[in-house]
Amino acid sequence: MSLQSEFARIAATDGRAALVTVISGSEIGAKLLVRADGSREGSLGSDELDRAGLSAAEELLWAERSETREYGETLLFVDVVAPAPRLVVFGAVDYSAALCRLARAAGWRSYVCDPRSQFVTPERFPDADEVIVAWPEEAFARLGGIDRATYIAVLTHDPKLDDAALSIALQSDAAYVGAMGSRRAQAQRRERLLAAGLDEALLERVAAPIGLDLGAVSPEETALSIMSEVVAVRNGRDGGRLSQSAGRIHEVGA
């Protein structure tokens, strides 16, 4: 199977990979395929170019965008395919249902996790890709672990569930970890997690209170606030108003 065909197969099965191609230079058409696990096939024609191509691929695989990159006299095109981003929501609450609706509309995959079987049902969360009746450790295991394209929202207000989910999430490669609660609740949660032995530096990763400052009140508005922050983080933005921004509205990589 050619590298192009293997790349197409990975894309068709919702996999993650980057295909680096020389589009200008002495080795036009040479290809290097890089998978999410770091394995690779092919060559761009030299060890130096292979290292450059691998570095660009590993960066863009998780940024989830395709770009051209210039190395001396050689121009590379890094073509990236990836599954839809994944939002893992802890807590079978009304906010979670609204958040799943928005996630689906935005093209994200969402998963609702809660150990309370009477609350976490497919009927209550029809827009979730899956509902998982389990404590956080088992829930993450059933989801295949946490990678750099996983975004986590903890919405339960239950210290037993909140703390267990955050303890795992903050020590993972998750791209985003947010938690709901008042500032007082956040301070109490922080003290509990520190007492449980979590490193203080890791706690700085928590987006808490979760979401952007939209003045949200209803579950739907709150879900919009959370989803807006998640999308901003994914795109490397701070979520400010476009009318007050001097940069590009849309980034164009290639």
Query: pLDDT tens digits for 171-214?
Result: 999 999 999 988 888 899 999 999 989 999 999 999 999 999 99
108: exposed, middle or buried (C-beta count within 10 Å: 0-12, 13-18, 19+)? Answer: buried
Name the band, by pLDDT with cuts 50, 70 and 90, for residue 249. low
Confidence of residue 63 (pLDDT cuts 50, 70, 90): confident
Residue 250's pLDDT is 54
Confidence of residue 240 (pLDDT cuts 50, 70, 90): confident
Predicted model pTM = 0.86
Parallel, antiparallel or unpaired: strands 130-132 and 86-90: unpaired
Cα(137)–Cα(43) distance, integer angstroms: 40
**Max Cα separation, the chain?**
64
* Residue among 112, 151, 108 at smallest CA distance from 128: 112
According to the model, what pLDDT value does residue 254 have? 43
**Separation between Cα atoms, residue 220 and residue 99, nearest integer Å:** 7
CA–CA gap between residue 103 and residue 223 (Å, rounded):
9
Domains of the chain and CATH, by start: 3-81 (no CATH), 86-234 (3.40.50.720)
pLDDT in tens, 142-177: 999 999 999 999 998 888 999 999 999 999 999 999
Q: What is the DSSP letter of 243?
A: G
